[in-house]
Amino acid sequence: MIPVLAGIAYEYIRWMANHLESSIVKVLIKPNLALQHLTTREPTEEMLEVSITALRPCAPWNRQRKKIFRSSNRHFGEEIE
């Protein structure tokens, strides 16, 4: 039952996105946007600090991944710095 409802919701959202210029769609989407406005906000400085701190341990892995990707592209004629 849940996959069926998820599929219907997906198609509904997709249809709405393709018909945003319609006045009927504008009326139908207004309550959703109002709810989104109530439940979301810009992150505070503290929230940003926590997210940056949480991502820092990933940085060495990310550098290693880029290094591997660059070396795997050498056979395509790309020059590595």
Q: What is the pLDDT of residues 33-64, one digit of tens each?
A: 899 999 999 999 999 999 988 888 777 766 65
Looking at residue 79, the DSSP 8-state letter turns out to be P
What is the per-residue pLDDT across 3-24, written as a single tens digit (0 to 9) for each?
Answer: 999 999 999 999 999 999 999 9
Q: Are residues 29 and 49 in the same domain?
A: no
Report the alpha-carbon distance of residue 4 to residue 79 in Å, rounded: 50
Residue 6 lies in a domain: yes
Q: Whole-structure pTM over 0.75, yes or no?
A: no
Residue 21 lies in a domain: yes
Q: Are residues 33 and 7 in the same domain?
A: yes
Cα 45 to Cα 9, 27, 37, 49, 81: the distances in Å are: 35, 35, 20, 6, 36
Q: Are residues 31 and 52 in the same domain?
A: no
Residue 81 lies in a domain: no
Name the nearest CA neighbour of 25 among 14, 12, 34, 16. Answer: 16
Owning domain of residue 66? 45-76
